[in-house]
Structure 1
Amino acid sequence: MKILPRNSSIQKIFILLIPIVIFIAGCEILTFGNKPFEQKAWLANPVNSGKNDSIRFQMSEDLTKNHLKIGMTRQQTRKLLGKPDLLNSYCYGKDICDNYYLGEYALILKFDSAGKLIKKDIISI
């Protein structure tokens, strides 16, 4: 059996890879459902009790990609999604946010001072 010398490049690579593998293994991978957004179902299921498989969570990818557009007014987003579950008068600085619960996650809609949508995030709560 041949033993590699202590300063081998294989050992250095292995030592560098261990923290990367540990980091990746510890990361939570957010997987959305693949349901298309349906306003009626969204409005009928306002706050979920902490389940990732909530109807809102399952529709959130389609909602954020295809229905919520940067530049929409706050009134347009509320017409689409209904009254937010929580209002933040100052989130991410001086801007206003509407929060919609998705179970263990929340959809955060950030509006500028003119009431235009400037950011949409899904965060763990």
Structure 2
Amino acid sequence: MSSSEFGSLGDQLQGVVEQLYQASERMQGALAGAQALTCTAASPSGLAEVTAAGRNRVVEIRLSTGHGGRADGELERVLVATLNEVLEQARAQSNAAMLDALPTSMRSGVQRAADEEKREQDR
């Protein structure tokens, strides 16, 4: 290889390193943004409202004052359903934020892998 070919290869490698650095910076920013997102879900009955932030982190649970006198176990069932709903919303928002930060050429492959993982978890 001639010195000009080495120089050209060096320039190409420097360009790849710069692209990787920029992608890393975007991903770190997207991760911070995803962790700052909040979602709120309310039960259809209005008995419970749950707020989650980032991924799998519940930050607030609010119960209506009229939850006394409910059927045995109803409050627990409502809370579990509402928690699951808000955590799924938070997970979906975080995934979308991270996916948006990826280079366009990588998004479809990563989305397919995430969809497959979700299907496995739902089984």
Same fold (TM over 0.5): no
TM-score relative to the length of structure 2: 0.30
Instruction: Name the one with the larger helix percent.
Output: 2
Give the structure with higher Rg (CA): 2
Relative contact order, CA 8 A, sep 6+: which one is greater?
A: 2
TM-score relative to the length of structure 1: 0.30
